[in-house]
């Protein structure tokens, strides 16, 4: 693990979340959803790199959450609570659909996911 890699992951994650907020303000729900997924994926990888020295080579938010949950069990609420899992699944769908499927998101739907990230995901994942 290098401190440079840690810093890059953290800065990129934060930039994706800022970008998602800006895209939502512009009414670009699809790209905002992708940016939110990228924030979640990168911040999870950042935390795993920080705490374990490595992270699994995967794009699956569920797998990254479960791996982080081995060190911080409270994070498992994101996949063990069905309401939270719904949001995680929607974020994973956004990643896949951005590349392979013509799925469109409504702005209000994306704003709801952003609210989930700010109010549920971040408080569980970001503290060390």
Task: Give the pLDDT score at 128.
Answer: 67
CB distance 78 to 88 below 8 Å: yes
d(CA 119, CA 28): 21
* Whole-number Cα distances in Å, 71 to 5, 6, 25: 21, 18, 36
What is the DSSP secondary-structure string of 93-107? Answer: HHHHHHHH------H
Per-residue pLDDT tens over the stretch 51-104? 999 999 999 999 999 999 999 999 999 999 999 999 999 999 998 877 777 889
Share of the chain above pLDDT 90, in %: 87
Share of the chain above pLDDT 70, in %: 98
Taking alpha carbons only, the member of 117, 100, 90 closest to residue 19 is 117
Task: Give the pLDDT score at 1.
Answer: 61
- pTM for the whole thing? 0.94
């Amino acid at each position: 693990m290098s401190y440079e890699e840690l810093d890059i992951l953290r800065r990129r994650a934060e930039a994706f979340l800022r970008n998602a907020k800006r895209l939502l303000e512009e009414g670009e729900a699809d790209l905002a959803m992708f940016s939110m997924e990228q924030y979640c994926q990168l911040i999870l990888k950042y935390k795993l790199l920080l705490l374990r020295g490595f992270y699994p080579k995967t794009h699956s938010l569920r797998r990254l959450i479960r791996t982080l949950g081995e060190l911080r069990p409270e994070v498992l609420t994101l996949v063990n609570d069905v309401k939270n899992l719904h949001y995680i699944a929607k974020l994973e769908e956004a990643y896949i659909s951005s590349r392979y499927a013509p799925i469109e998101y409504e702005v209000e739907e994306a704003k709801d996911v952003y609210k989930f990230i700010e109010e549920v995901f971040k408080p569980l994942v970001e503290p060390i």
